[in-house]
């Protein structure tokens, strides 16, 4: 491998810039040429790319979003699109591609690998829903953004003695919801991984809390469940407690990355380049128990992630 291409794909996540910087600087350190591809696989298809230098990735570690921009490419999900992507990579002399993104982006990388491209995946998504790794870039910043919103909403909920229903991102996963429920002191957290009964799991804890003297109530709903407005109306009807819903939305994807996201992105980026240096490719970089490891891309994509039962238990015990 002499020339590495790097792209960000799918939903952006805070810390992606730190990963781009790490891939670029570690790449140059190890003697590779590094090319930045704009707008994910769309940019690969259209040859929208330029060489990255030590300086071009300066002053970006603290910035949210991705300087390379990102996209969800419909064309690249076709066989023809993948072939076109590969041939454009060849035009630019790219012989290995580092993809920073989530499962959908890794499927694109796997398709390229099947045609002979050498690929490395770096997990970048706020959802923390990639099975082979216990951490994905952006997850910590997103959770801190949610927590900041929870604290603010709690102030007004207390003043008015209200209930707040907050819907948070995570696609089909409840990782952001479950952690923010614990950190924000929610009465109930509703996630896709767990069956729930609205009366038993939401209404009862709210009424019991009121009987013990609670002055405000917080229900976190993962977007994989959705329906925050309907849940809020149901709570109001059943309990007579005025209830407001907040769908936090894309604010969760922005902002300056936290310390954890910057360090994890830096470690993952350097590790990705070291894999290529060692002649290892078609791997996904992962964090397991704080250590950097890697998985074969086909294996990584066949793995399934289960939610941490301990977090669910803690949330329930402490909600009282």
Active site residue ranges:
127
For ligand F6P, which stretch binds (CB under 6 A), given 35-43, 151-159, 168-176, 184-192?
Answer: 168-176
* Smallest separation (angstroms) from ligand F6P to the CB of 123: 11
Residues 212-241 close enough to bind ligand F6P by CB under 6 A: 223
Task: Report if residue 123 touches ligand F6P, rule: CB under 6 A.
Answer: no
Q: Which of 25, 171, 214, 262: binder of ligand F6P (CB under 6 A)? A: 171
Contact criterion met (CB below 8 Å) for 295 and 46: no
Q: Which of 125, 179, 243, 266: binder of ligand F6P (CB under 6 A)? A: 125
Q: Concatenated DSSP letters for 149-163?
A: HHHHHHHHHHHHT-E
Q: Which of 29, 30, 47 is nearest to 38 (CA)?
A: 47
Task: Report if residue 127 touches ligand F6P, rule: CB under 6 A.
Answer: yes
The Cα–Cα gap between 241 and 255 comes to 34
Task: Report if residue 126 touches ligand F6P, rule: CB under 6 A.
Answer: yes
Q: Which of 36, 101, 170, 255: binder of ligand F6P (CB under 6 A)? A: 170
Q: How many residues bind ligand F6P (CB under 6 A)?
A: 10
The Cα–Cα gap between 79 and 91 comes to 19
Give the residue ranges of DSSP H helices in the chain: 16-29, 40-46, 79-91, 103-114, 139-160, 175-184, 198, 204-211, 228-239, 259-277, 297-302, 309-318
Instruction: Compare residues 7 and 126 and give the one whose CB is closer to ligand F6P.
Output: 126
Task: Report if residue 16 touches ligand F6P, rule: CB under 6 A.
Answer: no
Q: Which of 227, 247, 243, 244 is nearest to 169 (CA)?
A: 247
The Cα–Cα gap between 55 and 66 comes to 16
Instruction: Compare residues 123 and 170 and give the one whose CB is closer to ligand F6P.
Output: 170
Q: Give the footprint of ligand F6P on this chain (CB under 6 A).
A: 11, 102, 125-127, 169-171, 223, 253
């Amino acid at each position: 491998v002499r020339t590495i291409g790097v792209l960000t794909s799918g939903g952006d996540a805070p810390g992606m810039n730190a990963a781009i910087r790490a891939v670029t600087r570690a790449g140059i350190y190890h003697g590779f040429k590094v090319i930045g591809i704009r707008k994910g696989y769309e940019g690969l298809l259209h040859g929208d790319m330029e060489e990255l230098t030590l300086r071009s990735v300066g002053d970006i570690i603290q910035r949210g979003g991705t300087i390379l921009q990102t996209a969800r490419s419909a064309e690249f999900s076709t066989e023809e699109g993948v072939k076109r992507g590969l041939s454009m990579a060849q035009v630019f002399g790219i012989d290995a591609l580092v993809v920073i993104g989530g499962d959908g982006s890794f499927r694109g990388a796997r398709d390229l690998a099947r045609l002979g491209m050498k690929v490395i995946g770096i997990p970048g998504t706020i959802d923390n829903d990639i099975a082979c790794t216990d951490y994905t870039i952006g997850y910590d910043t997103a959770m801190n953004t949610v927590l900041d919103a929870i604290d603010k909403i709690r102030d007004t909920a207390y003043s008015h003695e209200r209930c707040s229903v907050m819907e948070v991102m995570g696609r089909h996963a409840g990782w952001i919801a479950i952690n923010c429920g614990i950190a924000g002191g929610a009465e109930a957290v509703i996630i896709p991984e767990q069956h729930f009964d609205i009366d038993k799991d939401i209404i009862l804890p709210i009424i019991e809390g009121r009987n013990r003297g609670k002055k405000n109530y917080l229900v976190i709903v993962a977007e994989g469940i959705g329906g925050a407005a309907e849940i809020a109306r149901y709570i109001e009807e059943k309990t007579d407690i005025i209830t407001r819903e907040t769908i936090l939305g894309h604010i969760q994807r922005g902002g300056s990355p936290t310390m954890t996201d910057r360090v994890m992105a830096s470690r993952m980026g350097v590790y990705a380049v070291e894999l290529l240096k060692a002649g290892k490719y078609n791997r996904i970089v992962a964090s397991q128990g704080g250590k950097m490891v890697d998985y074969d891309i086909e294996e990584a994509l066949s793995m399934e992630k289960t939610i941490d039962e301990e977090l669910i238990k803690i949330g329930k015990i402490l909600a009282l």
